[in-house]
Amino acid sequence: MSTYTLDTATSRANPTPAPMRRLTVPAIRRRKAEIAEGGEPLVMLTAYTVRTAQILDPHCDILLVGDSLGQVVYGLPSTVPVTLEMMAAHGAAVVRGSYHALVAVDMPFGSYEASPEQAFASAARLLKETGAAAVKLEGGEAMAPTVRFLSDRGIPVIGHVGLTPQAINALGGYGARGRSAAEQEKILADARAIDSAGAFAIVVEGVVEPIAVAVTEAVSCPTIGIGASARCDGQVLVAEDMLGLFERTPRFVKRFDDLAGRISAAVQTYAADVRSRAFPGPEQIYPARD
């Protein structure tokens, strides 16, 4: 149940959410079988702030506090410079702004790769400081022992295979993966390894569609596609991409709105009203008492 309250008289974070039970890790994992029987795919979007979480939460099964915030929020060139402190701060904000979706937080580059013990320390910190239910980490067979180590110690893990942005320096670019037979075999092996290690879901990013389908059929946990296939068990996008807040739209993104254009138009109107002294008007000022 929701355990926090907001002072709706003074806070912009309105309305106060109605208490209800959050989706749980076992409930998300069970969706694999339900989807196979014709159930609805999982819906995941990224969220980085309280207000965005409040807006997205009623419509999503999972809110991902992605390390994509490095680029989306901080204007960094990649996800590599993102820190645990950033993830913890934004993760806590998203948990405070949601009450229905399961919240998962990305483990940033350098916070988990050295050893399972390092990963546990980082993941424990994120869960303690944010109240999130799970962490997400990138990598396949090499990270399977870490996924097992975390899962055995009560830390739910979402895996991530295919195009792994934290490894962009090694990959050499953001192109789709799985075009060669060797890459196809590796992606499948990676997915099977982290599935067997206990991941309760796997993000499949930037792979040719037949491999996304093969991965979905090969693992026991739900797959969540991004630039993969509609036949994955769910889909995820960066919310700012699908809302049209950036000029560039990656191939795998469908723009469901043009918020950048609408915001620009609103600001243009505001600026004109200020310059013409039409704003503030009588409704926005405090008159002297009679």
Residues 228-266: pLDDT tens digits? Answer: 999 999 999 999 999 999 988 888 899 999 999 999 999
Asked if residue 168 has pLDDT above 90, the reply is no
CATH number of the domain enclosing 173: 3.20.20.60
**pTM beyond 0.85:** yes
Domain contains 10 = no
Summarize the annotated binding site for Mg(2+) as residue ranges: 67, 106, 138
Residues 178-200: pLDDT tens digits? Answer: 678 888 899 999 999 999 999 99
Range of the domain at 103: 25-258
Active-site residue flag, 205: yes
Domain contains 6 = no
Calculate what percentage of the chain has a pLDDT beyond 70. Answer: 88
Domain contains 87 = yes
Summarize the annotated binding site as residue ranges: 67-68, 106, 136, 138
Residue with tokens 């303690």: 128
Domain contains 204 = yes
Domain contains 251 = yes
pLDDT of residue 180: 86
Residues 146-163: pLDDT tens digits? Answer: 999 999 999 999 999 998
Summarize the annotated binding site for 3-methyl-2-oxobutanoate as residue ranges: 67-68, 106, 136
Please tell me the total count of domains within the chain: 1
Domain contains 12 = no
Residues 87-108: pLDDT tens digits? Answer: 999 999 999 999 999 999 999 9
Crossing angle of helices 144-152 and 181-196, rounded to 10°: 20
What is the DSSP track for 161-201? Answer: EES-GGGHHHH-S-PPB--SHHHHHHHHHHHHHHHHTT-SE
Q: Which of 113, 205, 209, 217 is catalytic?
A: 205
Residues 110-159: pLDDT tens digits? Answer: 999 999 999 999 999 999 999 999 999 999 999 999 999 999 999 999 99
**DSSP H or E run through 46:** strand 42-46
**Nearest to residue 215, comparing CAs of 239, 195, 200, 198?**
195
Domain contains 20 = no
Domain contains 190 = yes
8 A C-beta contact, residue 226 and residue 68: no
8 A C-beta contact, residue 42 and residue 224: yes
